[in-house]
Amino acid sequence: MSSTDQSPTSNFIRNIIIDDIQAQKYKRPIMTRFPPEPNGYLHIGHAKSICLNFGLAAEFGGVCNLRFDDTNPSKEEIEYVESIQEDVRWLGFDWESRLYYASDYFNRLYDHAVQLIQKGKAYVCSLSADDIRQYRGTLTEPGKDSPYRNRLVEENLDLFARMRNGDFPDGTHVLRAKIDMAAPNLVMRDPTIYRIRHASHHRTGDTWCIYPMYDFTHCLSDAIEGITHSICTLEFENNRSLYDWVLDELEVACHPQQIEFARLNLTYAVLSKRKMIELVEKKYVSGWNDPRMPSISGIRRRGYPPEAIRNFCERIGVARRDSTVDMALLEHCVRENLNDRAPRVMAVLNPIRVVIDNYPEGQVEWLEAPYHPENPQMGSRNLPFSKTLFIEADDFMEDPPKKFYRLAPGREVRLRYAFFIKCAYVVKDEITGKILELHCTYDPETRGGGAPDGRKVKATLHWVSADHAIGAEVRLYNHLFTRPDPDSAKDGTDFKEFINPDSLIPLTDCRLEPALADAASGSHYQFERLGYFCVDTVDSRQTAPVFNRTVTLKDEWAKIRNK
């Protein structure tokens, strides 16, 4: 990954726009658009396109439209239309009053198709879909003309009108652009621009039974709205000739420039709506907003802040060469953002009971602890300390190996913001041998964490007071896949075979310090020594809180970068 090397704001699309503005190519502010097809939820790859389109428009005093590319009635749903708007807004972008639908242009698109027929530049083809494919030829062989290619204009107009009227079943006829069946670019071999589809559309209902194809719709929608720069991903590079052909053949007020960039690929993720739908429908995940999903709704629920995602999109840059970005960079951006603003609190995920034998029964003292050591404005809270505490089970070992510096029999450690404690003995279940509780003593002279005699301890542990702690479920998330490229197994193994069985680890017996009792839905915390966590927006209840691990504390990216 070299994108962090480049200056963050400069990219080739931005340079094109700067040149166009300097050359006064447009007598008006620039206009871009984000054109999702409402056939799934948005993912982090879309965030790259959103940040680019809205970001460039904002930077150069232009505007960016949100346009639903809703030409495929059978796969599109209102749920997606709504989630997409929510996600774009959440990312921090505003289309103001410019919310458009390609379906709003169906009448005008139909009229444009009629114009093409009248010019002799489109014809109704009655070959089957299979035959059309056969006739198209290959990269090395030219295609063959359809036997319907030379239908007369009048006949084409009549058939097209009857297609619209619903006189024919699906698949019997299509309208094709009449370009060149021997064109080296296969896209130009008389592409289909309209097909019959007797299906209800989520906005136009049963008004239409013919629907325009992407290549015909997209360029005309751009032209209708007055888009200046039509930014899309590289797979549309070959379609640019058709984009330009349609706009050149028709009388349109504006001819936007299509510019392609490399789509975002991310390790340990699949960024394809089709595959994500499969994960949802086959219940590999709990839904589109499962915190393991790379969907915007998933990462939002996971606790990734929108600023971190915008920052990530800035850092990965925009290029024309395909590349895969390391998930660790995304996590690094999240960590960097939360490091400054998440209050630091104590939570014990796998509790083990600690009894302080020399602490008076029934006594509680409240110890002041800052929410962020480097950021005093974040304030502080008081932590209750009492005779019975919980610490993390793996912070204790009965028979520790050499490098284990935490609690062990006879060993003294510091409890964060509290006292030194020393382990006296261990109580075990007589039958199973399982450790039930640790008995310790505390040194009242060490309140606040230091010993007056200057003696040192090698570890500082987090803890909570047993009687004051609140119970919670904490969900630990790991990569959804066991390999960085689940999509490209050489032997063709399906990506679902690589789902990580440990991608979700629910811990149901966690104990949180009492200040977390009023944690707001979605709010972020650092659990000291454990990572960043947020209150789950779906399953958390006042009486039964649920926290998601957003990201661990360890900065793997820093390691990679410093290599």
Per CB under 6 A, residues contacting ligand ATP are: 35-37, 45-46, 48-49, 232-233, 263-264, 271-273
The helix (run of H) or strand (run of E) holding residue 330 is helix 327-341
- Cα–Cα distance, 474 to 496 (Å, whole number): 26
Q: Is the separation of the CB atoms in 53 and 30 below 8 Å?
A: no
Q: In what order do the strands lie in the sheet with 99-101?
A: 31-34, 63-68, 99-101
- The residue among 85 and 272 lying less far from ligand ATP, judged by its C-beta, is 272
Catalytic hit among 164, 273, 300, 387: 273
- The residue among 260 and 513 lying less far from ligand ATP, judged by its C-beta, is 260
Q: Is the separation of the CB atoms in 335 and 329 below 8 Å?
A: no
Q: Whose CB is nearest to ligand ATP?
A: 45
- The residue among 156 and 228 lying less far from ligand ATP, judged by its C-beta, is 228
Residue spans of beta strands (DSSP E) within 299-376: 323-325, 344-345, 347-348, 351-356, 365-370
| Closest listed residue to residue 479, CA positions, set 294, 349, 316, 312 | 294
- The residue among 85 and 380 lying less far from ligand ATP, judged by its C-beta, is 85
Query: What are the backbone dihedrals phi and psi of residue 460, each rounded to the nearest 5 degrees, phi first?
Result: -120, 125
Query: What are the backbone dihedrals phi and psi of residue 325, each rounded to the nearest 5 degrees, phi first?
Result: -95, 140
Catalytic hit among 75, 98, 263, 483: 263
- Cα–Cα distance, 354 to 425 (Å, whole number): 10
Nearest approach, Cβ of residue 433 and ligand ATP (Å): 52
- The residue among 214 and 371 lying less far from ligand ATP, judged by its C-beta, is 214
| Closest listed residue to residue 156, CA positions, set 178, 135, 136 | 178
Nearest approach, Cβ of residue 481 and ligand ATP (Å): 16
Q: Return the half-sphere exposure (C-beta side, CA atoms, 13 A cut-off) of residue 276.
A: 24
- The residue among 324 and 441 lying less far from ligand ATP, judged by its C-beta, is 324
- The residue among 263 and 416 lying less far from ligand ATP, judged by its C-beta, is 263
Nearest approach, Cβ of residue 265 and ligand ATP (Å): 7
| Closest listed residue to residue 32, CA positions, set 112, 93, 108, 85 | 93
Nearest approach, Cβ of residue 40 and ligand ATP (Å): 6
- The residue among 260 and 528 lying less far from ligand ATP, judged by its C-beta, is 260
Nearest approach, Cβ of residue 158 and ligand ATP (Å): 34
Give the C-alpha distances (Å, rounded to integers) separating 124 from 113, 154, 167, 409: 11, 11, 14, 86
Q: What angle do CA 23, 28, 34 make, to 5 degrees?
A: 100
Q: Is the separation of the CB atoms in 114 and 212 below 8 Å?
A: no
Tell me whether residue 344 is one of the annotated catalytic residues.
no
Tell me whether residue 178 is one of the annotated catalytic residues.
no
DSSP β-bridge partners for residue 473: 546
Nearest approach, Cβ of residue 46 and ligand ATP (Å): 5
| Closest listed residue to residue 225, CA positions, set 414, 57, 435 | 57
Q: What is the DSSP track for 75-88?
A: G--HHHHHHHHHHH
Nearest approach, Cβ of residue 263 and ligand ATP (Å): 3
Nearest approach, Cβ of residue 80 and ligand ATP (Å): 9
Q: Is the separation of the CB atoms in 526 and 338 below 8 Å?
A: yes
The structure tokens 């960039």 sit at 261
- Cα–Cα distance, 533 to 476 (Å, whole number): 9
Nearest approach, Cβ of residue 262 and ligand ATP (Å): 8
| Closest listed residue to residue 347, CA positions, set 517, 536, 540 | 517
- The residue among 115 and 324 lying less far from ligand ATP, judged by its C-beta, is 324
Nearest approach, Cβ of residue 414 and ligand ATP (Å): 47
The helix (run of H) or strand (run of E) holding residue 215 is helix 214-225
Q: Is the separation of the CB atoms in 396 and 408 below 8 Å?
A: yes
Q: Which residues contact 385 (CB under 8 A, 6 or more apart)?
A: 364, 365, 366, 367, 415, 418, 419, 465
How many other CB atoms are there within 10 angstroms of residue 457's CB atom? Answer: 21
| Closest listed residue to residue 312, CA positions, set 1, 41, 94 | 1
- The residue among 319 and 397 lying less far from ligand ATP, judged by its C-beta, is 319
Tell me whether residue 554 is one of the annotated catalytic residues.
no
Residue numbers annotated as active site: 37, 263, 273
